[in-house]
A and B are shown apart, each in its own frame.
Chain A
Amino acid sequence: AQTVTQSQPEMSVQEAETVTLSCTYDTSESDYYLFWYKQPPSRQMILVIRQEAYKQQNATENRFSVNFQKAAKSFSLKISDSQLGDAAMYFCAFSSGSARQLTFGSGTQLTVLP
């Protein structure tokens, strides 16, 4: 069974600064995907970024990038130039197998300070 751990229940960052959210996972599989989802107060789950395990290059999406360390089973999210709209709960998630079901971490609540 897969497990996903987010060890930072809460974090804060000053507007325009950079913040890194941590995620570790445990699996015996070699082919899988990793995701970061954002959940603002509206409750909608929004995909932020996706990483395929077989790709060595770290994924980037505008101000969002990941640091994927496969051997260490670590998948952190870096948010650059933080904006007030980035304030949300962030979930790390793992996906594998033909059914593609997701296993989620418990989330990190990010506060952006003006």
Chain B
Amino acid sequence: DAGITQSPRHKVTETGTPVTLRCHQTENHRYMYWYRQDPGHGLRLIHYSYGVKDTDKGEVSDGYSVSRSKTEDFLLTLESATSSQTSVYFCAISELTGGLRFSTDTQYFGPGTRLTVL
């Protein structure tokens, strides 16, 4: 158990409204990630963070912003939700498991948030 929670777990909203999803971790992991899962696509990276106030874009970042003001929380914001952002959103953290040639990080996932944009 990597101690990751996501809130809310389910949300229904209307097109054009802002939405913020929260990922909370309890074990001081440096790296945090947001992915979305859609049928036929597996999971795709939206944004990630490598420290407080340090974030970068992933493969599908358009329409999303993130913030990380403290180590334990990573927020994903849809400034103006669209129907194409209906998806399941997963947060993940990297767990450092060794110090060999380089970090053998393994990502562990939160339970997911199902977002429906009407």
Question: Which residues in A have some Cβ–Cβ distance to B below 8 Å?
Answer: 4, 31, 33, 35, 37, 43-45, 47, 50, 52, 54, 91, 93, 95, 98-107
Q: Closest CB-CB distance, B45 to chain A, in whole Å?
A: 5
B112 touches A47 (CB 8 A): no
Q: Which residues of A have CB within 8 Å of B105?
A: 33, 95, 100
Which residue of chain A is the closest to B47 with respect to CB atoms?
A: A101
A-B residue pairs, 3 tightest by C-beta: A104-B42, A45-B109, A104-B43
Cβ-based interface call for B74 (8 A): no
B104 touches A106 (CB 8 A): no
A31 touches B108 (CB 8 A): no
Q: Which of B94-116 contact A (CB under 8 A)?
A: 94, 100-109, 111-112
Sample of 14 more A-B contacts, CB < 8 Å, known A100-B103, A102-B35? A33-B105, A43-B88, A43-B112, A44-B109, A44-B111, A45-B112, A47-B107, A50-B106, A91-B42, A95-B107, A100-B105, A102-B92, A104-B42, A104-B44
Q: Which residues of A have CB within 8 Å of B88?
A: 43
Q: Which residues of B have CB within 8 Å of A35?
A: 106-107
Q: Place the interface of chain B in its size category.
A: 20 to 34
Greatest chain B CB density within 10 A among A35, A95, A98, A99 is at A99
A100 to B98, CA, bound (A): 14
Q: Which residues of A have CB within 8 Å of B31?
A: 99-100
Given contacts A44-B112, A100-B94, contact A33 B45 (CB under 8 A): no
Q: Which residues of A have CB within 8 Å of B45?
A: 101-103
A31 touches B102 (CB 8 A): yes
A99 touches B106 (CB 8 A): no
Q: Which residues of A have CB within 8 Å of B40?
A: 106
B42 touches A43 (CB 8 A): no
Q: Which residues of A have CB within 8 Å of B102?
A: 31
